[in-house]
Amino acid sequence: MSVTITPAMVKELRLKTDAGMSDCKKALQDANGDFEEAIKILKERGLAAANKRGERITAEGNIFIKIDDKKATAIELKCETDFVALTDQFKEVGNTIVALAHAAGANEVTEELKQPAMEAVAVLKENLVLRRVETFVLEDNEVAVGYVHTGMPMGSIVKAKVEGCDKNDSRIQSLLSDCAMHIVASNPLYLNIDAIDAEYIKNQKDIFVKQTIELGKPENIAQNIAEGKLKSHLAEVSFLDQEFVKEPKVTVAQVVDRLAKELGCKMCITGFMNFRVSI
């Protein structure tokens, strides 16, 4: 026996799922009026829609961050258009996923973490991709601060170890906030020069030697010139060796050391995440 599907039933299902009116009516008809079954059908069809949209380019999106005293987590969630990236529904999905990732201490994309994005496809009508997840587990004397750039899909987290003073001091929080903003602006690849892998250094030096020889310099002179260029380049890709965006001519490391001396404590940057949405 078929159940009559009333406009009120369709409206209620739409309010709960944000799916289209016709989709809600069809789901209720297929579920013979069973509300929970209709929701399940919409979710299943949302997943099917996601599979069909899977080949679309996801060039937009945003970064979502969650930080407490124990952990710091960031995710990159992508979509097809900036219009969707700005919607409350997309933001809700991102916040849901980052909360799940934070609770799990996740450092990789899992099926469980992808599920909220897949379920949202039926509502947002776009392909959503969870591209990256990263979590810092903080030690007792570590503190983390995050930054998401307004209007641009970029964000970062920086963490520091503090000994001898309150890690939650407003001056420390302010500096770390500036450091997180610096990361987004300057796009460092490594924490410091010591962290740069040998293969990267070798490849860069080879490039500089080749460029200098092509300018007509003898190889022995090219080697010396390349060394100078390499030194400058490594400082440019090393976070702590970069010139601080808010105070040129002073490195990030020098700014951190200066504040530590002012506060009479020890402080060092122990890590960072650099997230930006890309194709």
* Residue 31 within any structural domain of the chain: yes
Q: What percent of the chain is modeled with pLDDT above 70?
A: 92
* Residue 213 within any structural domain of the chain: yes
* Residue 156 within any structural domain of the chain: no
CATH assignment of the domain containing 36? 1.10.8.10
87 and 40 share a domain? no
* Residue 21 within any structural domain of the chain: yes
What is the per-residue pLDDT for 47? Answer: 44
> Average pLDDT of 59-67?
94
Q: What is the pLDDT of residues 14-42, one digit of tens each?
A: 766 666 677 788 888 988 988 888 878 87
Domain residues for the domain of 221 are 197-237
Q: What is the pLDDT of residues 127-163, one digit of tens each?
A: 899 999 999 999 999 999 999 998 889 999 999 999 9
117 and 82 share a domain? yes
pLDDT band at 219 (very low <50, low <70, confident <90, very high): confident
Is the model more confident about 74 or about 215? 74
pTM: 0.78
Q: What percent of the chain is modeled with pLDDT above 90?
A: 63
64 and 132 share a domain? yes
46 and 64 share a domain? no
* Residue 80 within any structural domain of the chain: yes
What is the per-residue pLDDT for 1? Answer: 58
Q: What is the DSSP string of the chain?
A: -PPP--HHHHHHHHHHH---HHHHHHHHHHTTT-HHHHHHHHHHHHHHHHHHHTTS---EEEEEEEE-SSEEEEEEEEES-HHHHTSHHHHHHHHHHHHHHHHHT--S--HHHHHHHHHHHHHH-S--EEEEEEEEEPPTTEEEEEEE-TTSSEEEEEEEEEESS-TT-HHHHHHHHHHHHHHHHH--SBSSGGGS-HHHHHHHHHHHHHHHHHTT--HHHHHHHHHHHHHHHHHHHBGGGSEETTEEEEEHHHHHHHHHHHHTSEEEEEEEEEEE---
Number of domains within the chain: 3
39 and 61 share a domain? no
Q: Is the pLDDT of residue 196 over 60?
A: yes
73 and 49 share a domain? no
47 and 62 share a domain? no
